């Protein structure tokens, strides 16, 4: 499974092998997609799904928002559409009346984007990332979020675990677009780049851009260049491939 995923990484697999055997001459950078890794990014959708009530055909929130995630959100993450203009249009297309959508808008317009942008972070994972940084690994968060939420993002406690937080709005494309990783790599500079995500769409885009990919846990969405059983395994992995020994 790992060998198949390595073939999908177009351009940097050989670089990784050479660097690892030579003591990693290039800096190691791990880019983490925080959604459903550091926090539950489905809280807002589940809450709004309950507000919609019985006027829906889908059995669960994931099915109800499937088209929203694939067809509507990318334009929002790129800053091309206001969040609630797109959401109101989507809900009307799902068969809700204009009056019902207006009620939902009044109830959710302030709370829903905030809920979707991050709940309580996992303290265990934050401690693991702190250990990983001791090995000279650069940690960057690539966060799918909008311009309106971006001004608050540095206030979230989990952002302190990273050397840098980059938003998709700042890159001008969503995390499912390989261009995002081409642009981010330009910003990072000379480094072996590995992306971790719980989203198959994001891992696939990074691999198409030539990045190595990292999946953690039994529920990994797709095979990745590196597969770890749990987050604790990231510490010895970083110790082996990092740039210096922990103090």
pLDDT grade for 6, boundaries at 50, 70 and 90: very low
Give me the chain's average pLDDT, please: 80
Whether pLDDT at 197 is above 60: yes
Q: How far apart are the first and last CA of the chain?
A: 35
| Per-residue pLDDT reduced to its tens digit, 126-185 | 999 999 999 999 999 998 876 555 555 666 778 888 999 998 888 988 899 999 999 999
Mean pLDDT of 103-124: 72
- CATH number for the domain including 20? 3.40.50.1000
Residue 246 lies in a domain: no
Q: How far apart are CA 189 and CA 192, in angstroms?
A: 9
Residues 89, 96: Cα–Cα separation, whole Å: 10
Q: Is residue 247 part of a domain?
A: no
- Residue 18 resides in a domain: yes
Q: Identify the domain boundary among 57, 87, 116.
A: 116
Distance from C-alpha of 178 to C-alpha of 210, rounded to nearest angstrom? 9
Q: Tens digit of pLDDT for each residue in 10-65?
A: 433 434 433 443 344 468 999 999 988 888 888 778 888 888 877 677 888 888 98
**Quick one: 62 and 146 in the same domain?**
no
pLDDT for 145: 78
In the predicted model, is pLDDT for residue 220 greater than 80?
Answer: yes
In a shared domain, residues 219 and 233:
yes
Q: 83-93 and 98-108 helices cross at what angle (nearest 10)? A: 140
Q: In this structure, is residue 211 part of a structural domain?
A: yes
Neighbours of 128 (CB within 10 A): 20
Residues β-bridged to residue 193:
29
Distance CA 75, CA 81 (A): 6
CA distance 140 to 162: 5
Give 97-106 contacts, CB < 8 A, sequence gap 24+.
100/55, 104/48, 104/51, 104/52
Q: What's the whole-model pTM score?
A: 0.77
168, 51: one domain: no
Give, to the nearest 10 degrees, the angle between helix 43-52 and helix 98-108: 140
Q: Which residues contact 200 (CB under 8 A, 6 or more apart)?
A: 221, 222
* Same domain, yes or no: 183 and 221: yes
Residue in the structure block whose two tokens are 């910003």: 187
Is the same domain home to 69 and 15?
Answer: no
- Of the candidate ranges 8-12, 111-115, 239-243, the one whose mean pLDDT is the lowest: 8-12
Predicted pLDDT at 50: 83
Number of domains observed in the structure of the chain: 2
pLDDT band at residue 87 using 50, 70 and 90 as cut-offs: confident
Dig out the tokens for 153 from the structure: 């993002």
Percent of the chain past pLDDT 70, that is, above it, reads 78
Whether 85 and 7 map to the same domain: the answer is: no
Residue range(s) defining the domain that contains residue 100? 43-116
User: How far apart (Å, rounded) are the C-alpha atoms in residues 164 and 105?
Assistant: 33
Query: Does one domain contain both 60 and 105?
Result: yes
């Amino acid at each position: 499974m790992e060998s198949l995923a390595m073939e999908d990484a177009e351009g940097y697999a050989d670089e990784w092998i050479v660097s690892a055997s030579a003591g990693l001459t290039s800096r190691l950078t791990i880019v983490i997609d925080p959604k459903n890794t550091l926090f539950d990014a489905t809280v807002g959708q589940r809450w709004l799904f309950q507000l919609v009530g019985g006027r829906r055909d889908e059995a669960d929130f994931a099915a109800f928002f499937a088209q929203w995630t694939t067809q509507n959100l990318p334009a929002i993450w790129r800053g091309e559409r206001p969040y609630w203009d797109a959401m109101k249009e989507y809900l009307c297309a799902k068969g809700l009346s204009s009056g019902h959508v207006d009620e939902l808008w009044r109830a959710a317009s302030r709370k829903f984007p905030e809920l979707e942008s991050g709940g309580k972070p996992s303290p265990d994972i934050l401690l693991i990332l702190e250990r990983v940084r001791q090995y000279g690994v650069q940690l960057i968060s690539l966060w799918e979020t909008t311009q309106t939420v971006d001004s608050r993002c540095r206030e979230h406690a989990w952002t302190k675990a990273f050397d840098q937080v980059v938003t998709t709005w700042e890159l001008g494309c969503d995390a499912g677009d390989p261009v995002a990783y081409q642009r981010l790599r330009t910003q990072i500079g000379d480094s072996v780049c590995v992306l971790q995500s719980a989203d198959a769409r994001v891992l696939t885009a990074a691999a198409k851009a030539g990045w190595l990919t990292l999946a953690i846990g039994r529920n990994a969405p797709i095979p990745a260049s590196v597969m770890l059983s749990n987050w604790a395994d990231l510490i010895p992995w970083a110790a082996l491939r990092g740039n210096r020994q922990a103090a």
